[in-house]
Chain A
Amino acid sequence: MKVEVRTDVAWEQHPMAPYVRTERMPHVWCPGCGIGTIVKCYATALERSDIDLDKVAVVSGIGCSGRAAGYFKLDGFHTTHGRAIPFATGLALGRPQLTVTVMSGDGDLVGIGGNHFIHAARRNHNLLVILINNFIYGMTGGQNAPTTPLTARSSTMPFGNFEPPFNLPHLAASSGAPYVARWTSLHVRRLTWSIEEALDRKGFRFIEVVAPCPVLYMRLNRLGSGVDEMRFYHDNAEIRNGADTRDLNIGFHEPIVCGKFVDEERPTYDELRDAHYREVLGDEYVPAPLEGGMIHG
């Protein structure tokens, strides 16, 4: 029997249709991949928030997660490999009234883009960074990532990885990020709450989301299917809010500590700049207009 897809009905009735470019479906992600779930969590968080969607921009780099920006019905920027954060920094500084989210992968944001990650956290730019960690370079075929757990196999570490991976929450927190959390793509409700909460904060907010890559990471490591990984998260994810970020390393097929680890007030780049210039320049200081650009004419 041929299944007739009534796109008009199916898409318009999908609860996320107002937030997603339904005309671009089906998306590029593999069956069992966790990225789609995270896209839905972000869309749900936006729906629950009272943010004007016209003022929301999503920026991605390159890779599987790098395609995320292309699926939201928002201003979306699919940029170069590793440069999503500085591109987003330009957007956020150019038009301060924008809510700018960076959604990209581990290889993109802390491999090739690692320098930007630590400096944006240090300066505390107004960016929500959602890093989707699948432990591997997916788009290019399963190469070793700076997040690949010790002993895990990748296509460029065929005998198992011997490089210590980053502990991302610790990297973010020690670089100065005022909001740091980690979830898995199984934690749909908690992740959505966390995104919602982070949207309500300011400064450099970092959420790591561990997600399955059944086609590469899991296949190369004989870990089963996407569903098996969901079961693994279910049985092995341990929620420890407020945990010391030094204890958050992820070992190969070992328990994953999730939770919100940092949530504090720290003046943002914009606040520090404005306060400083007001102090030294007084009335001469003219802040960049909130609506950005074209300030004249």
Chain B
Amino acid sequence: MKADPAGVLTGSHYLDGDYACGEGAMAAGCRFAAGYPITPSTEVVERIARRFPTMGGTFIQMEDELASMAAVVGASWTGTKSMTVTSGPGFSLMMENIGLAAMMETPCVVVDVQRGGPSTGLPTMVGQGDVMQARWGSHGDYEVIVLSPQSPQETFDLMVEAFNLSEVYRVPVLFLMDECVGHMTERVVIPAPDEIEVVPRRLTSLAPEEFQPYRVNGELVPEFARAGDGYRFHTTGLTHDARGYPVMSAEVQESNVHRLVDKIRLNQDRIVRVEEEGINGAEVVVVTYGITARVARAAIDIARRRGVPVGSLRLVVLWPFPEQRIRELAGEVRAFVVPEINYGQIVLEVERCAGGWAGVRSVPHGGGGVHDPRRLADEIVEAAR
């Protein structure tokens, strides 16, 4: 399906990442947003609040992030594409209802413009410390999809993708920006509506008496019924059967959790996305995401001038993690270098997948700034030894 023209601001613009994020959401068909102000993410909903009234969208500033996330899950059950936007402390508050969205299999998008943490940390300055929280932040076992853009243009493009993925797999998609990408202003080209592919909600074609909200018929993702369409279904955050009724048993828990996990794990080849450059013949591969990918480019240039064959692997999708690709590369390269604006999160995954076949070097940064490319180049050179 093509994008609704009402939400698409076709043309070439000079936008920061936060505005591009809002534009991407509207182009994707998002028509409900709930949020609570928090730096450095607030510009996303400010953009939306200004534009929604002319396209049939509803933005509401809720009393806190708990309410924002709960409202997003509720609104999504009306078939309305829904999102919220936050940063570290608010992201922590949203976790319980992100779990609810995962359990009820509710499509929605949660944007986290990362700042330095822990706690209130560095409200106006960059961090990338929420990567593991995005993956594991809500209690219990479930899978989500996490995307991470490196520029305002990619923020726009990936937001459309984020909504599409949330519809296809009926999961919350977490959109991990960082303060640098959010506040960096660059050219953003927004295509014509008929060039933007959007995925509509997969509504059931069954009659109400035949429909069960979590019956999958051998598939991994159930069909959807909107509240108010006469299906009179029930859904719950409790462990539930195909009818959406609570069942407290190990057997139902097993099938419930198994499918929540499988629908992403068995489809990870379709979801995983990396961008590679100069990998062939490389001795060192720098694994990056978000703003760090752009800083690493300068470091890679320096290292190449110093004679090190170095390639770059950028994670566009953080979760599911590209396990297979890292395993392959581990047999071919001497080492991975993983700069992150945190004290080592994605590096743990790289280490796990490398399985000892290649060296893995973490280059941590506490936040409040980005890596110094010269220092990062030193690490690359060191790793090649």
A interface residues with partner B (beta carbon < 8 Å): 21, 24, 53-55, 57, 59, 69-70, 73-80, 82-83, 85-91, 93-95, 97-98, 115-116, 119, 277, 281, 284-289, 291-297
Verify B70–A90 contact, CB threshold 8 A: yes
Q: List 25 A-B contacts (CB under 8 A).
A: A54-B230, A55-B228, A70-B236, A70-B246, A75-B227, A77-B227, A78-B234, A80-B96, A80-B97, A80-B100, A86-B67, A87-B70, A87-B73, A89-B62, A94-B80, A115-B64, A115-B67, A116-B63, A288-B57, A288-B80, A291-B228, A292-B79, A294-B200, A296-B29, A297-B4
**Contacts A53-B232, A87-B71 given; does A94 touch B78 at CB 8 Å:** yes
Q: Is the interface of A mostly helix, strand, loop or mixed?
A: mixed
Chain A residues with CB below 8 A from B53, complex form: 277, 281, 284-286
**Cβ of B168 under 8 Å from chain A:** no
Task: Give chain B interface residues in 227-254, CB to chain A under 8 Å.
Answer: 227-238, 245-246
Tell me the bound Cα distance from A294 to B41 in angstroms.
27
Tell me the bound Cα distance from A69 to B246 in angstroms.
12
Task: Give chain B interface residues in 267-315, CB to chain A under 8 Å.
Answer: none
Chain A residues with CB below 8 A from B2, complex form: 297
Verify B201–A83 contact, CB threshold 8 A: no
Verify B74–A90 contact, CB threshold 8 A: yes
Verify B58–A80 contact, CB threshold 8 A: no
Verify A90–B75 contact, CB threshold 8 A: yes
> What's the minimum C-beta distance from B1 to chain A, rounded to whole angstroms?
5
Verify A80–B56 contact, CB threshold 8 A: no
**Contacts A24-B245, A115-B64 given; does A91 touch B227 at CB 8 Å:** yes
> Which single member of A21, A80, A277, A288 contacts B237 (CB below 8 Å)?
A80
Interface size on B, residues (CB 8 A): 55
Verify A93–B201 contact, CB threshold 8 A: no
Verify A76–B228 contact, CB threshold 8 A: no
> What's the minimum C-beta distance from A252 to chain B, rounded to whole angstroms?
32
**Cβ of B34 under 8 Å from chain A:** yes
Tell me the bound Cα distance from A143 to B76 in angstroms.
34
Tell me the bound Cα distance from A89 to B230 in angstroms.
20
In the complex, the chain A residue whose C-beta lies closest to that of B201 is A294
Chain B residues with CB below 8 A from A97, complex form: 228
**Cβ of B214 under 8 Å from chain A:** no
**Cβ of B370 under 8 Å from chain A:** no
> Which single member of B54, B66, B76, B200 contacts A286 (CB below 8 Å)?
B54
